[in-house]
Amino acid sequence: MNTSHARFPRFAPLTCLAFLLASAAPVAAETLLVVRKTGDAIDFVDPGSGLALATVPLGHAPHEVAVSPDGRRAVVSNYGSRERPGTTLSVIDLAEAREERRIDLAPHGRPHGVHWYAPDRVAVTTEGSRHLLLVDPWAGRIVAAIETGQDVSHMVAVAPGSERAYVTNIGSGTTTVLDLAAGRKLRDVATGGGSEALALTPDGRELWVAARADGHIAIVDTGTLEIVARLPLDGVPIRIAMSPDGRTAWVTCAATAELVAFDVAARKETARQRVDVPLAPDAGGRPFAKLAPGSPLPVGLLVSTDGRSLYVAATQGDVVVRYDAATLAPLGSVPVDGEPDGLGVTQLMPRAPCHACAPAP
């Protein structure tokens, strides 16, 4: 099924940063977390009402966010820029909407992908040092540093049971497999040029990797670590998300500004929808505009807790778009200034809405 490329309303901001009365369908009670790369902050948004509940300042140029297993904290990677490379993680108290602590990872620089995989462990990639770090967020220290030996180690996924991690390496065109218990690298799998996005099926048996430069999805059998299929997909596929039941995979394509759905079992495309939003006025001058000139650059991708909605961060459009997961029909959009990128969700609502929280000392 191919859905239409329909446009949809973008709602005007209201007082207290209420961005929209969003959708035709109900939304489960949850709070959307939106990382703003050039805003140096994370926003808390109620996707049902469109209210922006709080804004928490972070380090320079934050990129990705991961929520703790109990849903009460989040970590954000402060990636930085070429001129000011970042070396820190921000730990956010989600109930209080404040930065609880900032963890210095130096000498490891440019932290990017994050996965909070155990109560006291966060996995974070560091492009600057070509490592996967295992961090204790409560002690604020690195407990293990595992070298990937690959270029631009970017995103990370941790398997069910927390025994294994997978890191995509954009520059090397590989996915590195790591044994977390032993703290060592197992293998590099040649998943394709520009390997960036990755997602595990809920049962952990398959790893889907998007090779954005080669234009395909590589499917890895995690038991044998062999590639069992390659699915062609042009348009710079850049993020992948799996449905909670493992039946559907969704992919954002940055260059063609599309959201694409795949049947996981059949390994077949089933639908696609255009992310049809206008560019921000200053989009052409932003560093990431070069990745896909003229595109609103849909990157960040998140499935709601109940699996009924998808959220897509259109980085160059300064907007987060909500879609119906079953049909890919657009349901509404939330303006978020400052290049929205990494997305997360929590069942908590911050206790102090509609204010900007000062960073932790």
Question: Residue 352 — pLDDT band, cuts 50, 70, 90?
Answer: low
Question: For 154-172, how does the pLDDT look when each residue is reduced to its tens digit (9 = 90+)?
Answer: 999 999 999 999 999 999 9
Domain 15-356 sits in CATH at 2.130.10.10
Q: Is the pLDDT of residue 88 over 90?
A: yes
Q: Is the pLDDT of residue 350 over 90?
A: no
Q: Is the pLDDT of residue 22 over 70?
A: no
Q: Is the pLDDT of residue 237 over 90?
A: yes
The string over 315-346, giving b where at least 16 C-beta atoms fall within 10 Å of a residue's C-beta and e elsewhere, is bbbbbbbbbbbeebbbbbbbbbebbbbbbbbb
Q: Is the pLDDT of residue 82 over 60?
A: yes
Q: Report pLDDT for 75.
A: 98
Question: For 164-217, how does the pLDDT look when each residue is reduced to its tens digit (9 = 90+)?
Answer: 999 999 999 999 999 999 999 999 999 999 999 999 999 999 999 999 999 999
Q: 32-46, 85-99, 263-277, 345-359 — which is least confidently predicted?
A: 345-359
Question: For 270-284, how does the pLDDT look when each residue is reduced to its tens digit (9 = 90+)?
Answer: 999 999 999 999 988
Q: Is the pLDDT of residue 9 over 70?
A: no
* Alpha-carbon gap, residue 1 to 220, rounded angstroms: 26
Distances (CA, A) of 22 to 19, 26, 272: 8, 9, 22
Give long-range contacts, CB 8 A cutoff, 24+ apart: 355-358.
355/54, 355/55, 355/97, 356/41, 356/54, 356/55, 356/56, 356/57, 357/54, 357/55, 357/56, 357/57, 357/96, 357/97, 357/98, 357/99, 358/57, 358/98
Question: Model-level pTM?
Answer: 0.90
Q: Give the start-to-end residue ranges of the domains of the chain.
A: 15-356
Q: Identify which has the larger pLDDT, 55 or 27.
A: 55
Q: Report pLDDT for 25.
A: 42
Q: Report pLDDT for 14.
A: 30
Kindly calculate the radius of gyration of the chain based on its CA atoms and give it in whole angstroms. Answer: 19
Q: What is the mean pLDDT of residues 107-130?
A: 98
Question: For 294-304, how does the pLDDT look when each residue is reduced to its tens digit (9 = 90+)?
Answer: 999 999 999 99
For residue 230, give both structure tokens.
């390659």
User: By the 8 A CB rule, do 309 and 45 touch?
Assistant: no
Q: Is the pLDDT of residue 229 over 50?
A: yes
Q: Report pLDDT for 1.
A: 41
Q: Is the pLDDT of residue 240 over 70?
A: yes
Q: Is the pLDDT of residue 129 over 90?
A: yes
Choose among 66, 164, 177: nearest CA to 111: 66
Q: Is the peptide bond before 107 cis (omega within 30 degrees of 0)?
A: yes
Q: Report pLDDT for 287.
A: 79
Q: Is the pLDDT of residue 361 over 50?
A: no
Average pLDDT score, the chain: 90
Q: Identify which has the larger pLDDT, 351 or 152.
A: 152
